[in-house]
């Protein structure tokens, strides 16, 4: 009986530990490293690994056949996409190509790397399609095992809005369970962070999967206390747009044992200032710039 009680206490303790403060500087490759490679693609994530990031940041959506797909938008974005005939689409048409209404076999016929995003002129052109999350994990773990030799975390954003339920994605409960089932199959949960702007998503994970770390994404002018009150609990990470952040707010979050990891920090001067302010890391399109500042890890090639 004592052994059973000890095991229960251990399990409960691990659940409670999921949201605790973990002191390490965390450079996250935004959508991999979209400043240099097509966003949310396997080449982008491999580049981020080779740049020494400690976390891969990515977004997921759901296809018509219930596959977990890595994509920022739940549709084919005109900014980066060429249709199966290698033709661009117009911005006003993009929402017609709703990934939630397309099978993965249909999605993978689209090229999201050859057109290149005009906002990132350094980005390399590659003929590449949107990958399944499971394929990203397999490719990343193989690269870790065979080259970089250190494990990274996965910061996975669930892209949902209440007015898009059952139109561009499932309701939060189904969406979350599809994601959980996949990551539970492929990864230890202590290497996963789930982030979202959608409070419904975070509340669901906090209730159903309390062993997983959570990150509250913030793009509003509310105070920290106002945002946390709406959420209803203290997450592991508070992740605001970096321009909304002050040094005082970082200290306030640390006093509550909440890590502060802002997005999307691309300018070297901003990286340096935020590091001086004692942020716990940042999300960036340019992990190579963070490497120049000595903020990333150094991969250790396998000796042949």
Residues 213-247 pLDDT 10s: 999 999 999 999 999 999 999 999 999 999 999 99
Q: Give residue-wise pLDDT tens across range 6-16.
A: 333 333 334 44
Q: The whole model's pTM is what?
A: 0.92
- The CA dihedral of 195, 127, 86, 284, to the nearest 10 degrees, is 30
Distance, in Å, from the CA atom of 240 to the CA atom of 219, rounded to the nearest integer, reads 6
Distance, in Å, from the CA atom of 264 to the CA atom of 120, rounded to the nearest integer, reads 14
CATH architecture of 27-292: Alpha-Beta Barrel (3.20)
**Domain locations in the chain?**
27-292
CB 131 within 8 A of CB 69: yes
Question: Mind listing the pLDDT tens digit of every residue in the chain (304 residues)?
Answer: 444 333 333 333 344 456 555 557 999 999 999 999 999 999 999 999 999 999 999 999 999 999 999 999 999 999 999 999 999 999 999 999 999 999 999 999 999 999 989 999 999 999 999 999 999 999 999 999 999 888 999 999 999 999 999 999 999 999 999 999 999 999 999 999 999 999 999 999 999 999 999 999 999 999 999 999 999 999 999 999 999 999 999 999 999 999 999 999 999 999 999 999 999 999 999 999 999 999 987 665 544 4
Phi, psi of 215 (to 5 degrees): -130, 125
Distance, in Å, from the CA atom of 24 to the CA atom of 153, rounded to the nearest integer, reads 12
């Amino acid at each position: 009986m004592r052994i059973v009680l000890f095991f229960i206490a251990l399990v409960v303790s691990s659940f409670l530990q999921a949201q605790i403060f973990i002191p390490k500087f965390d450079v996250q490759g935004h959508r991999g490293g979209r400043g240099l490679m097509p966003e949310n693609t396997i080449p982008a994530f491999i580049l981020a690994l080779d740049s020494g990031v400690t976390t891969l940041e990515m977004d997921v959506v759901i296809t018509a056949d219930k596959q977990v797909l890595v994509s920022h938008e739940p549709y084919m974005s005109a900014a980066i996409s060429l249709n199966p005939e290698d033709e661009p689409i117009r911005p006003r048409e993009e929402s017609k190509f709703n990934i939630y209404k397309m099978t993965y076999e249909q999605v993978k016929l689209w090229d999201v790397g050859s057109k290149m995003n005009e906002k990132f002129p350094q980005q390399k052109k590659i003929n590449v399609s949107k990958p399944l999350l499971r394929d990203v994990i397999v490719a990343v773990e193989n690269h870790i095992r065979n080259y970089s030799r250190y494990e990274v975390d996965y910061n996975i954003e669930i892209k949902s809005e209440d007015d898009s339920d059952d139109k561009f994605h499932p309701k939060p409960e189904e969406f979350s369970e599809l994601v959980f089932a996949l990551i539970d199959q492929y990864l230890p949960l202590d290497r996963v962070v789930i982030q979202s702007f959608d409070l419904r998503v975070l509340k669901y994970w906090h209730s159903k999967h309390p062993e997983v770390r959570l990150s509250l994404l913030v793009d509003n002018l509310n105070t920290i206390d106002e945002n946390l009150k709406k959420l209803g609990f203290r997450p592991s990470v508070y992740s605001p747009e970096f321009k909304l952040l002050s040094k005082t707010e970082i200290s306030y979050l640390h006093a509550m044992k909440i890590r502060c990891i802002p997005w999307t920090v691309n300018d070297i001067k901003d990286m340096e200032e935020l590091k001086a302010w004692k942020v716990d890391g940042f999300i960036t399109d340019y992990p190579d710039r963070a490497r120049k500042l000595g903020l990333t890890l150094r991969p250790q090639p396998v000796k042949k």
